[in-house]
C-alpha cells in the first residue's frame, strides 16, 4: 500500500472515531436529561394552577345566549345544529358540551332562590376580604398562597379548614391546632365534587360548610356549594350547588353567613373587569324559597338569577328587613376598639341603637335586656362546649347521646335568646 493510501485510511479512522464519540456523548446527555426529568417528576410533581381563569368575552352566538341565560332558545337551536351536523358526519363535541351547559342552566333556573340582596360593592380582588364584616364570633378567614387560596379558622381557634394545591387540583384539608402547632392534615371527605375546591367557611353550628369549586358539573368557573357533616359516617354529605342567583357563568366564591346578625356575603366577578370583584350582601333564608318556574314570568326569574340590578330583589314586603340589615351593617363597620367599650349592641329601630343599660327609658325593657344578655352568655358557653364535643366525637367517636343533648340545648337557647331580644325591643317601643 502506498503512502498516500495509508494517510487517507488513518484520516478516515480518526474522523470515524471522533464521530462515534460524539454520538455516545449525545446519547449519554439524552439519557441524563431523561433521568433528571424522571427524577423531577417523582420529587416535584406538577402543582395545579390556583389562579382564576381569565374571563374572556364570548363571541360565539350560542355562548352569548348561554351567558345571557337564554338556555331554552340556545338549546333548541343547538339540537337542530347537532342534527344537521350528524347528517353531514361532522364532529358535534363542541355543540354537545354547549347543550349540556344549557340543560344545567335550565335546571338551575328552576331552582332560582328568592333572596334579598341589600347592597353590593366593587373592590380589588386581591383585598376583597376587607369588604366582609366578619366578627371574631364567626371565626377567621385569611388569604393564603399569595392570595390565590383561603383558609378558615373556627371561632375557638382549634381547627383550620384550608385549600391547598395537590398534584392536579386544589383540595380541602383540615388541621387541628394543638399548643400552637398544626396536626397532620386530613382530607375533607364525602364532598363528591371534582376539580378545584377553595374558599371554605364553616358556620357556627359546626356542621354546615360552604365552599367554592371549579367543577365539570358547575355553571362555569368557581361555583358555590353547601354541605353538612355526617357524624355517623365521620365525613361530609355530598355537596350541593347553591344555584342561582349565588352562582353564574363567572367566578362566585367565599360565602360567609353571620347567623347572629342575619347577614350573608359572597364574592363574584360577574360583570367586572379583570382584577375587580363585587361583594354582594344579602339576607340569608332559613330554607330555599325558589321561584315558580312554571307560573312566574321567565324574564323576572332571569333578572333575579342575574342580580342585575340587585333592586330586582327588593319589594315592599322586604323593605323593612332590608333597612334593618343596612343599619346593622353600618353599626358593624365601626372599629373593634369602639365596639369593645359597649356593654351590648341592640338595634331598637332605624333611628335608635342601644349600647348601654342607661340608654333604656323603660325599666321593664332594661330588666329584659339583662335576661337577654344572660341568655346570650349561656348560648356562647354552650356553643363552645358543643364545638369541643363535636371535635371529640369526630376524633374518637365520642358520646353520641351527650352530643345530641348539647345540640338540643343549643337549639333551645338559640330560640330563647332570639325571643328575649325581640321582647326587649318591644318593651322599649311601647
Domain ranges of the chain: 1-44, 106-115+142-257+289-310, 334-429
Could you read off the pLDDT of 196-242 as tens digits, one per residue? 999 999 998 889 999 999 998 888 789 999 999 998 888 999 999 99
Q: Flag whether pLDDT at 8 surpasses 80.
A: no
Higher pLDDT, 296 or 401: 296
Q: In the prediction, which pLDDT does 398 show?
A: 62
Provide the pLDDT for residue 395.
Answer: 64
pLDDT at 354 over 50: yes
Q: Mean pLDDT, to the nearest integer, of 336-350?
A: 67
Query: DSSP letter at 54?
Result: P
pLDDT value at residue 234: 85
The pLDDT assigned to 43 comes to: 35
What is the pLDDT confidence band of residue 7, given thresholds at 50, 70 and 90?
A: very low
Q: Are 191 and 163 in contact (CB under 8 A)?
A: no
Look up the pTM and report it: 0.68
What is the structure's pLDDT at 181? 84
pLDDT of 55 higher than 60: no
Work out the mean pLDDT of the chain and round it to a whole number: 83
pLDDT category at 2 given cuts 50, 70, 90 is: low
What are the tens digits of pLDDT across the range 252-273?
Answer: 999 999 988 889 999 999 989 8
Residue 84 in grid coordinates: 344537521
**What pLDDT is recorded for position 167?**
80
Tell me the mean pLDDT in the region 96-121.
93
Cα–Cα nearest to 62, from 34, 48, 87, 81: 81
Q: What radius of gyration do the chain's Cα atoms show?
A: 30
Architecture of domain 334-429: Orthogonal Bundle (1.10)
Find out whether 241 and 218 touch, Cβ atoms under 8 Å: yes
| Closest of 260, 49, 34 to residue 146, by C-alpha | 49
User: Is residue 141 a contact partner of residue 152, using CB atoms and an 8 Å limit?
Assistant: yes
Q: What's the CA gap between 373 and 369, in Å, rounded? A: 6
Beta bridge partners of 48: none
Residue-level pLDDT at 68:
86
Assign 26 a pLDDT band (cuts: 50, 70, 90).
Answer: very low
Q: What is the pLDDT of residue 274?
A: 85
Alpha-carbon gap, residue 74 to 99, rounded angstroms: 8
pLDDT for residue 190: 94
Q: CA-CA distance, 390 to 205, in Å (whole number)?
A: 10
Q: Is 336 exposed, middle or buried (0-12, 13-18, 19+ CB in 10 A)?
A: exposed
- pLDDT at position 397 is 60
Is the CA virtual torsion 228, 168, 125, 113 positive or negative? negative
Cis bond upstream, residue 245 (ω within 30): yes
In tens, the pLDDT along 136-192 reads 788 999 999 888 899 999 988 889 999 998 888 899 999 998 877 888 899 999 999
- Dihedrals phi, psi of 324, to nearest 5 degrees: -65, -40
Question: For 26-40, 97-111, 253-267, 286-300, which range has the lowest pLDDT when averaged over its residues?
Answer: 26-40
- Per the structure block, which three cell numbers stand in for 85? 351536523
Amino acid at each position: 500500500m502506498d503512502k498516500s493510501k495509508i494517510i487517507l485510511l488513518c484520516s478516515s479512522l480518526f474522523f470515524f472515531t471522533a464521530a462515534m464519540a460524539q454520538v455516545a456523548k449525545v446519547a449519554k446527555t439524552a439519557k441524563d436529561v431523561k433521568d433528571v426529568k424522571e427524577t423531577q417528576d417523582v420529587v416535584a410533581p406538577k402543582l395545579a394552577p390556583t389562579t382564576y381563569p381569565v374571563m374572556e368575552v364570548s363571541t360565539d352566538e350560542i355562548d352569548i345566549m348561554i351567558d345571557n341565560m337564554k338556555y331554552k332558545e340556545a338549546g333548541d337551536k343547538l339540537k337542530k345544529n347537532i342534527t344537521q351536523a350528524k347528517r353531514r358526519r361532522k364532529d358535534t363535541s363542541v355543540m354537545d358540551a354547549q347543550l349540556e351547559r344549557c340543560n344545567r342552566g335550565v335546571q338551575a333556573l328552576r331552582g332560582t332562590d328568592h333572596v334579598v340582596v341589600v347592597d353590593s360593592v366593587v373592590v380589588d380582588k386581591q383585598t376583597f376580604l376587607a369588604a366582609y364584616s366578619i366578627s371574631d364570633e364567626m371565626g377567621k378567614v385569611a388569604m393564603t398562597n399569595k392570595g390565590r387560596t383561603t383558609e378558615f379558622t373556627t371561632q375557638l381557634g382549634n381547627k383550620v379548614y384550608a385549600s391547598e394545591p395537590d398534584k392536579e387540583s386544589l383540595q380541602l384539608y383540615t388541621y387541628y391546632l394543638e399548643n400552637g402547632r398544626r396536626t397532620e392534615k386530613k382530607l375533607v371527605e364525602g364532598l363528591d365534587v371534582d376539580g378545584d375546591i377553595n374558599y371554605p367557611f364553616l358556620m357556627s353550628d359546626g356542621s354546615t360548610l360552604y365552599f367554592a369549586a371549579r367543577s365539570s358539573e358547575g355553571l362555569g368557573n368557581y361555583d358555590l356549594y353547601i354541605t353538612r357533616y355526617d357524624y355517623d359516617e365521620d365525613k361530609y354529605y355530598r355537596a350541593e350547588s347553591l344555584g342561582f342567583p349565588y352562582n353564574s357563568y363567572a367566578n362566585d366564591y367565599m360565602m360567609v353567613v353571620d347567623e347572629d346578625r342575619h347577614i350573608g356575603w359572597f364574592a363574584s366577578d360577574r360583570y367586572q373587569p379583570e382584577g375587580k370583584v363585587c361583594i354582594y350582601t344579602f339576607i340569608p333564608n332559613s330554607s330555599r324559597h325558589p321561584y315558580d318556574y312554571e307560573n312566574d314570568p321567565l324574564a323576572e326569574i332571569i333578572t333575579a338569577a342575574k342580580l342585575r340590578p340587585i333592586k330586582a330583589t327588593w319589594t315592599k314586603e322586604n323593605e323593612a328587613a332590608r333597612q334593618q340589615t343596612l343599619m346593622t351593617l353600618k353599626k358593624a363597620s365601626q372599629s373593634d376598639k369602639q365596639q369593645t367599650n359597649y356593654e351590648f349592641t341592640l338595634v331598637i329601630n332605624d333611628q335608635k341603637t342601644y349600647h348601654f343599660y342607661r340608654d333604656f327609658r323603660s325599666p321593664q325593657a332594661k330588666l329584659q335586656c339583662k335576661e337577654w344578655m344572660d341568655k346570650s352568655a349561656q348560648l356562647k358557653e354552650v356553643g363552645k362546649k358543643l364545638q369541643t364535643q363535636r371535635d371529640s366525637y369526630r376524633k374518637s367517636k365520642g358520646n353520641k347521646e351527650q352530643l345530641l343533648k348539647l345540640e338540643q340545648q343549643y337549639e333551645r337557647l338559640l330560640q330563647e335568646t332570639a325571643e328575649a331580644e325581640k321582647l326587649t325591643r318591644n318593651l322599649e317601643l311601647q
